[in-house]
Amino acid sequence: MKTTSSVLVANFKHWGIHHIFGIPGKAISPILFEILNHDMEFVLSKHEAAAGFEAAGYALMNQKIGVAVGTSGPGGTNLLTAAGQAKASNLPLLIITGHPSMKDTGKAMGQDSSIFGADLVDMFKSVTKFSARVERGDMLQPFLQHALEKAVSGVKGPVHLSIAFDILLEQIEPFLLDLPESYAMISPNTSDVIDKLNIAKRPLLFLGKGVHSSKAYAEVQHLAEHWNIPVITTPGGKGSFPSNHKLSLGAFGLGGTDEATAYVKEKVDLMLVIGSQLSDMSIAGLSEAMYPEHLIHFDYDQTFIGKSIQVPTTPILGDIKANLTAILKDIPKTNSEAFLMPIDDILLQENNPGERMSAIQALRSMRYALPHDAIVFGDDGSHSFYGIKYFDIYKPGTFFFDDIFGAMGNGIGYSIGAKLAAPEETIICLVGDGCMFMHGTELSTAYNYNSAVLFIVLNNGRLDMVEKGMQKMIGTSIGGVYETPLNVARFAESMGLEAFTCLNPYELTDKIAEALHKIEQTNKPIVIEILVDENEIPPTMGRQ
């Protein structure tokens, strides 16, 4: 017999997980004690929401699952935001929260997480795929197995278990669960796709973040190249298709390109939407006059099919990669190299002395200086929409951004967890000063645990999307500008990090190169602050 907490942590180890993220508290302390006995590292985050973000980034990069723990009461409520973000990002995340005591349930208890207090199980239900309370030690195995199956099958996502302190100490029969295999669902309508593509005169591929979730990069390219279909991406689909591909028109929606908009305006007869819910972020600027004649919609979940663009629609339900593989099984391979164009020299425009840098130039400088395979996590804000429009992608799967839930600070945590899961990768966090105000203390987490991320911070002293949006609506803004702007470099230095402040594009390219070299030598994160033009209009004004 072993304690419930020991069995739980043994399973974490069995799944190949080496880092658990969270903040200690009495209710979950038995789990932390067991981590010491299993050669795993507990990552002390600075806020539970950030711990959840970090665990989700870890899951994205290790292709297994991430684990975040939080104590009862406020530890659990702080993790709600991370659960909502992981659900929007389709990332398998196991959240464990505590409860003071099952045997004392119904009595007055501090940080009560039962139905008599802050009922965490109920709270987590709308932001997870499964949420339950383990009320006896012998219930752990069936509840954990069901949670795992929900987390990694179908549309991946977060799950939550609440386990009380006394249950974690209970003696139970040990067990080990393997991570479940996800069985691909294939639509019966795949043959319709080929028929419609063969007669289409002006087709268009519209890629969402489901392409990232299914890792269907090669299949999407094969489809586009065989039928010679132009490609646009949603904001969340950024990074799913190379920018220097002859068929790439860039992004549509917020942060969209002129080329993408121009093509859609010329009337598309067949649009293939792959892995997108078609949110208002993705179809900003798409009027009814621009709707396609027919739409083929690939998604695992039919909830939003036919809702945003109401035209005749063929649903292709199930796993995106498996469905595309079925469609392409008899289609000859294409020479993808022949579709790739030489990468153009990036021309940088220096700002006048004393003036702040353009955010556009900042993103172009980043592209100039970063390796082609550097993986960028865009946090929530105008800085990432500049990236969507102006940061070219040369290798699919190297830019991640959520355009649905949009929790500020998520990119900070995602990048930290991703680097711990894949230390060999070059990980970049593209973030703004507003996100830094929310979760910038996680720089300390990155420093203390050698998560050697390069944080590039666009600082214009305001909540840019909000401030500019208010200016557009009523001619002024309320609460959009910080009276005391964040000094990002000094903030980072206060937590031990080396930091630079850049004033022009050429300085920025030099500092990026210097920072990447130092990161390789020291295995420590570095921050580059870019002072950008506070009056520049971001590419986010098309949202209604």
Q: What is the mean pLDDT of residues 278-305?
A: 91
* H helix runs in 200-251, sequence order: 210-214, 217-227
pLDDT tens-digit readout, 259-271: 999 999 998 999 9
Residue showing tokens 């339900």:
317
Per-residue model confidence (pLDDT) at position 468? 86
pLDDT band of residue 543 (cuts 50, 70, 90) is low
Three-state secondary structure call for residue 277: coil
pLDDT band of residue 544 (cuts 50, 70, 90) is low
pLDDT band of residue 119 (cuts 50, 70, 90) is very high
Q: What is the mean pLDDT of residues 280-302?
A: 92
Per-residue model confidence (pLDDT) at position 347? 85
Per-chain mean pLDDT for the chain: 94
Per-residue model confidence (pLDDT) at position 244? 96
pLDDT at 499 over 80: yes
pLDDT at 509 over 60: yes
pLDDT tens-digit readout, 339-383: 999 998 888 888 888 899 999 999 999 999 999 999 999 999 999
> What one-character DSSP code corresponds to residue 139?
G
Q: Are β-strands 526-531 and 498-502 bridged in parallel, bridged antiparallel, or unpaired? A: parallel
Per-residue buried b or exposed e for 412-446, using 16+ beta carbons within 10 Å of the residue's own CB: bbbbbbbbbbbeeebbbbbbbbbbbbbbbbbbbbb
The number of beta carbons lying within 10 Å of the beta carbon of residue 501 is 17
pLDDT band of residue 103 (cuts 50, 70, 90) is confident
Cβ(19)–Cβ(69) under 8 Å?
no
Per-residue model confidence (pLDDT) at position 530? 97
pLDDT tens-digit readout, 216-226: 999 999 999 99
Secondary element (H or E) of residue 364 = helix 359-369
Per-residue model confidence (pLDDT) at position 542? 65
Residue showing tokens 């050669």:
39
pLDDT at 118 over 90: no
CA distance 461 to 482: 6
> What one-character DSSP code corresponds to residue 125?
G
Q: What is the mean pLDDT of residues 416-438?
A: 98
If one compares 37 and 111, the residue with the highest pLDDT of the two is 37
CA distance 498 to 516: 12
pLDDT at 419 over 60: yes
Q: What is the mean pLDDT of residues 292-310?
A: 91
pLDDT at 302 over 90: no
Q: Are β-strands 248-251 and 270-274 bridged in parallel, bridged antiparallel, or unpaired? A: unpaired
Give the distance, in angstroms, between the CA of residue 131 and the centroid of all CA atoms in the same chain. 22
pLDDT tens-digit readout, 440-470: 999 999 999 999 999 999 999 999 888 888 8
Q: What is the mean pLDDT of residues 387-399?
A: 97
pLDDT tens-digit readout, 165-210: 999 999 999 999 999 987 888 899 898 999 999 999 999 999 999 9
Cβ(100)–Cβ(75) under 8 Å?
no
Read off the tokens for 245: 């591909």
Question: What torsion do the CA atoms of 301, 304, 310, 313 make, to the nearest 10 degrees?
Answer: 0
pLDDT at 102 over 80: no
Angle at 492 between CA 517 and CA 91, to 5 degrees: 80
Angle at 132 between CA 126 and CA 135, to 5 degrees: 155
Report yes or no on whether pTM surpasses 0.85. Answer: yes
Instruction: Please choose, from the candidates 277, 542, 527, 305, the residue with its C-alpha nearest in 3D space to the C-alpha of residue 402.
Output: 277
Instruction: Please choose, from the candidates 21, 2, 1, the residue with its C-alpha nearest in 3D space to the C-alpha of residue 12.
Output: 21
pLDDT band of residue 300 (cuts 50, 70, 90) is confident
What sign does the CA torsion over 387, 393, 398, 403 have? positive
Domains of the chain: 2-172 (3.40.50.970), 190-339 (3.40.50.1220), 359-531 (3.40.50.970)
CA distance 502 to 499: 10
Three-state secondary structure call for residue 494: coil
> What one-character DSSP code corresponds to residue 138?
G
